[in-house]
Amino acid sequence: MTNPTPAAGAVERHLRARRDTGRGLLMPYVTGGIMPGWTEYLRAFAAAGADAIEVGLPFSDPTLDGVTIQQASDTALARGASTRRILADLSGMPDLGVPLVASTYYNLVLHDGPAAFCAALRLAGVGGLIVPDLPVHEADELTDVAAGAGIELVLLASPATPQPRLAEISCRSRGFVYAVSLMGTTGERAGLAASAAELTERIRRVTDRPVLLGFGISTPDQAREARRHADGVVVGAAVMRRVLDGAGPDDLRVFLATLRQALDQECDRPR
């Protein structure tokens, strides 16, 4: 039996509305401040058919991230990127028509304090927040503060999460549930982890909130396979590797369009 779902915020309502039409959800990631004019990537993501966009606030010790995102964070920090500067860049953007979800580590939240941090996100037009190193049993303060600021705190679930804890995460997460496909760090992989299907099935037993699958989604075929289990995908390292290799916004728009097409083809597949 699924748990009753509290009133959804703007991010969740947006994703639910798109999911309920049968659309596979696509959320690409970019490290904020990675280069001058980095917000042009956000425009390209929206043009390619993204349903939400994850903006990473770089941190010096990103323990859950693999080599690619670590390198992207180091690059952004080396050119002076900071939470304030990234949020100022976002504040100057027009509405893209899709929600923005910030992601970072809890040290940065604590640096300003949860209330000031969430208020700054809201002023910048950010609607959601992912804090991968914040376990559910320590999330009470940030959950309450974020909700008061109109920020939806997304919680993560992994293949190793016991079912009772998974039920709690799925109930308390806002916006969507972030399903981590494998026990490991972010990064491109040759295939979708076998643990992904079982995890998403276990999440679906306890919630009807949108479920996005991340960690290792790198190709159209992997996106298509992931869509058979989850409502959509998060694509980070595959995007940032291209950025680090010199790909511009138009290049990323083309790449993400291939993922968008794969998700749409899977939605059109006879069941």
Tokens of 256: 């993400």
Radius of gyration of the chain (CA): 17
Catalytic residue among 12, 51, 61, 65: 65
The CA distances from residue 114 to 129, 141, 218, in Å, are 11, 8, 33
Query: Catalytic residue at 12?
Result: no
Burial of 251 (0-12, 13-18, 19+ CB in 10 A): middle
**Catalytic residue list contains 225:** no
Strands (DSSP E) along the chain, which ranges?
A: 25-31, 53-56, 100-103, 128-130, 152-157, 177-180, 211-214, 232-235
At 90, the amino acid letter reads L
User: Is-contact 65 241, C-beta < 8 A?
Assistant: no
Measured CA distances, 245 to 45, 50, 101 (Å)? 18, 22, 24
Dist CA 30 CA 22 (whole Å): 26
Please pick, among 12, 20, 51, 54, the residue that the annotation labels catalytic.
54
Q: What are the residue numbers of the active site? A: 54, 65
